[in-house]
Every structure is written in structure tokens, then in C-alpha cells.
Structure 1
């Protein structure tokens, strides 16, 4: 994901995608929108998951299973480490927090970029 991509660029890309979708036949549009509705993710839901749950559960929402596994495993190791009195656990928690901060503040953009990517791939599939 490009966290620092300007909003205007993302909106321009979305507008270009809408223009290409409008050029489709009626049957293709119907097929496109039906498939798109099943795959798009709500940016507000992603942002809420990001703000409310620690441990990377928001990655599951965007189907990033490997990233969720890694982050959740690190969180579990940190919690176990804290319970056992290991000092490394604090550093692991700090690392998780530093990793999560950009995702936390750019959650709306991340979800919109995901939706754009899904929509673009779907359009390519429909057009071929």
C-alpha cells in the first residue's frame, strides 16, 4: 500500500476506473457490479477494526491472512513474555505499535486502495 499517495491521485484513479466501467455493455456492467458488490470492503469498518482491536484483526478483513498470522503471533509472544517476566516483550510490543501506527492513521486510504485494486482486477477479468 502507498500510505503517502495523495488523495487526489487516488480519486483520479477511481474516476478513470468509473469511466472505463461506463464504457462496458449493459450486461458487462451488470456482471461487474454484481461481482464488485461481493468483494468490496467498507473503509469505515476497516478503520473501526483498526482502532478497536489489537493484534491485526483488521488484516483479516482485507484478506491479508499471512500478515495477520505474523502480527497476532508476535502479540501472543509478547503477552506470554510479559507474563513470564521477559524484558524483550516490551520491545516486541513497541515494534508492533510502530508497525500499526501508519495503518491506524491511513486506514481509510488503505481500504479505498484495496477496493480500487479489487475493482481494477475485476474490470480486467470482465473485459477479457
Structure 2
């Protein structure tokens, strides 16, 4: 997912996907929308998790487990180091905050890109099932 992609480009890709889905057979279209409804993520929830919790909990929401693990581990290390009196732990906290800040500002786009990629995967899965079923 690229933050450099413009919203107009993302919207064009979403519109192209809507056209592809509209061309599906009715039972395939229904399957697509059922699966999509189950799996789509709310951009506002992603933004709220990013805003409220330092430590990468918003990554869990988008199933980015490895990024969450690294970020949460760094947060725990920084907290333990602060408790032990190591002032340099503040540098880790600042680094985590600086890493998180752009994700907060671009949270709507990040979640929409995730949803687009997920929808494309569902579309391809539905098309493949129809091909295999023939």
C-alpha cells in the first residue's frame, strides 16, 4: 500500500472493481458481496485505534501481525527501560510516535487501500471458484 497513490487513483481503481463485480453472474455477485461484507475494515476504527493506542494495535485490525509484533515489542522495551531509569528509552518512544504519525494522517487512505486489495482478492477467488465449478 502506497501513501503516494492519490485518492483519485484509488477511487478510479475502486470504480473499476465495481464495474468488474457488476459484470459477474448474479450468484457470483452475491457471493462477492457476502464475503466482502464479512471482511471489510472500517477506516474510522483504524484511525481511532491509531489515535488511542501507541504500540501498533491498529496493525492488528488490518491483520499486519508482524508489524504489530515489532512495534509492540519496542514499546514494551521502552517502558521497561524508562522504569529502570534509562532516559534513552524516550528516543524509542519518539521514534515509534514519528512512525505512527503519518499512519494517523493517512489512516482513511490506508484502510481504503486495504479494503480495495481485499475486495480484489475476493473478486479473484469468486471468479476462480466459478471457473473450477464448470
Higher alpha-carbon deviation: 64-73 or 15-24: 64-73
CA contact (8 A) 1:46 1:111 kept: yes
1:88 Cα deviation (Å)? 2.3
SS of residue in 2 equivalent to 1:2: coil
Q: Deviations over 1:60-115 (max 9, x none)?
A: 10011111111011001001111111132011111101111111110000000000
Count of residue correspondences: 128
Asked if 1:88 is matched to 2:92, the reply is no
CA contact (8 A) 1:32 1:122 kept: yes
Q: Which runs of 4+ in 1 moved over 6 A?
A: none
Provide the TM-score with structure 2 as the length reference: 0.93
SS of residue in 2 equivalent to 1:19: helix
Q: How large is the Cα RMSD of the aligned pairs?
A: 0.8
Alignment correspondent of 1:113: 113
1:4 Cα deviation (Å)? 2.0
State how far apart, in whole Å, the 2-side matches of 1:116 and 1:15 are: 10
Give 5+ residue unaligned stretches, structure 2: 129-134
CA contact (8 A) 1:59 1:65 kept: yes
Give 5+ residue unaligned stretches, structure 1: none
State how far apart, in whole Å, the 1-side matches of 2:51 and 2:43 are: 12
